[in-house]
Amino acid sequence: MEGNIGPGISMPHPPLAAPGIERGTWTLSDLDRRLHAAQGRLTAGLSLAALWLSFTDWGIHLANSPYRRADLARLAAEQWHRFFAAAAGQSEGPAIAPPPEDHRFSAPAWQQGPFSLFEQAFLLGQEWWGWATTGLPGVSRSHERIVAFTVRQMLDMLSPSNVPWLNPEVIEATVESGGANLREGLANLATDLRQGLTGRGADGGFRVGRDLAVTPGKVVLRNELMELIQYAPATAAVRPEPVLIVPAWIMKYYILDLSPRNSLIAWLVAQGFTVFCISWRNPGSEMAQTTLDDYRRLGVLAAVDAVERITGAARIHACGYCLGGTLLAIAAAAMARDGDGRLATISLLAAQTDFSEAGELQLFINESQLAFLDDVMWAQGYLGSRQMAGAFELLRSNDLVWSRAVKSYLLGQREHPSDLMAWNADATRMPWRMHAEYLRRLFLGNDLAEGRFPVDGRPVAVGDMRGPFFVVGTETDHVAPWRSVFKLHLLNDNDLTFVLTSGGHNAGIVSEPGHPHRHYRRHTRRHGDPYEAPMLWQHRAEVREGSWWPEWAGWLAERSGPPAKPPAMGAPASGLPTLGPAPGSYVFET
């Protein structure tokens, strides 16, 4: 059965009920889905059933392990001994040191009594619960992750750093300012609540089209799913092979076109490349039935066709970032299978093709959670932007939730606004069916890596993609861990240049030349070379200081023809007139 909700957007499966779509007859199952959706509004989309199953699995196995419980009691006794010995000055140094990434207790005042006792007791308790919730034989790995994560969230909430009268920094600031920090904190809280309700002012004063996404260009294609932007040349001659960028649709495309000083797109244009970039639409409930394959057809393939018609180039450098890279891999595999050889090279930036070790987001991916989330999305037709943003914040709650709350609401300090923060506040929605397919087929089933992902009724294989590849992973990526990105080495034997850069999922990619404290590693695996494990590769690859951008530009240039006259903007004679200036209209949808 096929239908559509607009020109070109297909429904290859029988439609399920969603807002704005004709429902037909109601069933009792629909009432269950409504109930789950209402529950989801109270739990931010998290399944209480998944939590219950996880804690039941852990609790039953712990109850049936009396000697494990005895060992935990022994460890607790040892901790108390360490605590009292350190408090009495009978040991060298503290009883426990916080992990390197934990900065809550870095202020010198935390090392003085009685605050050092609060810190030490909390860290020891955190250590003990880490032992209690992990490594218990018989507990499924998925359930163990959920239990450990949930307990960690509860402990983070109870940290003494979050309690005004237990935090020496807050006490000192209150005494010195006569309570002005708390007054400022209340004002900050009121501002944040107002912005959360209205959505206004969260951009820190940065404006798209004025401060962000200002690289000159024209919209040369618009369909119901995306706009294609062609950027104006900045050099007298350009490489004949254009670059097509496929960004993720979780957030707005201009992460790659932030301020002029750190815009990857503007920098690439300045190196003599003709650059095109997709700007995805921000979907509402009317796009609930949009599929992942619609993103491939109306996104990647439509853009490739348009770039070819505008430039006349027979070969295109394709680049995908995050989810856009995964989508590009799917499209490239299908193109290779079908004999379409228009992709000269493929660059994947923090993009996964194997999801067996997909990072901390796997915490939220199991059958119970996906069934619950599917009902939440079914009721509203999409995954809300705050639901996705909230999941990412929970993964790093110390830095993104509690530390920020202490700084803003207890110390009365505001972070200096930045272009990256403004972009991060400009979240998007995701269509119900597309996101459900993405989570089930890729995260849960790993169908792409295992050769089961269907395109046009036939499965595609990552091994069919034709390189060469330029692949970038980032050292501290919580979304697409670099070892997961690295797995393309196992799935495709074409020439592959892998770059591991400092930074996280966003900051590691937005790493312009001249940015301080940046480094990267690079190594090329040639066709036929033996496989190297990630840690061995990391050990052998030479560390280079600076940005990885020049490495990529040089790699593209080596695989491009000599510079020639830039192509015209758009191709009116081919039905692709310019439709307005960049950044287009879809980027402003809220």
Residues labelled catalytic: 322
What does 115-150 look like in DSSP terms, one character per residue?
HHHHHHHHHHHHHHHHHHHS--TTS-HHHHHHHHHH
C-beta separation of 583 from 254 below 8 A: yes
C-beta separation of 519 from 546 below 8 A: yes
The three-class DSSP label of residue 549 is helix
Please name every residue paired with 317 in a beta bridge, in sequence order, or none if there are none: 243, 345
Rounded-to-integer distance, Cα 88 and Cα 79, Å: 14
- Residue recorded with tokens 């067996």: 356
Rounded-to-integer distance, Cα 111 and Cα 503, Å: 30
Token pair belonging to 172: 């000192």
Please name every residue paired with 487 in a beta bridge, in sequence order, or none if there are none: none
Residue type, position 153, single letter:
Q
Residues 6+ apart with CB under 8 A from 39: 48, 372
Closest C-alpha to 46, from 325, 279, 277, 375: 375
Number of residues assigned to the chain: 590
Rounded-to-integer distance, Cα 292 and Cα 437, Å: 7
CA 443 to chain centre: 13
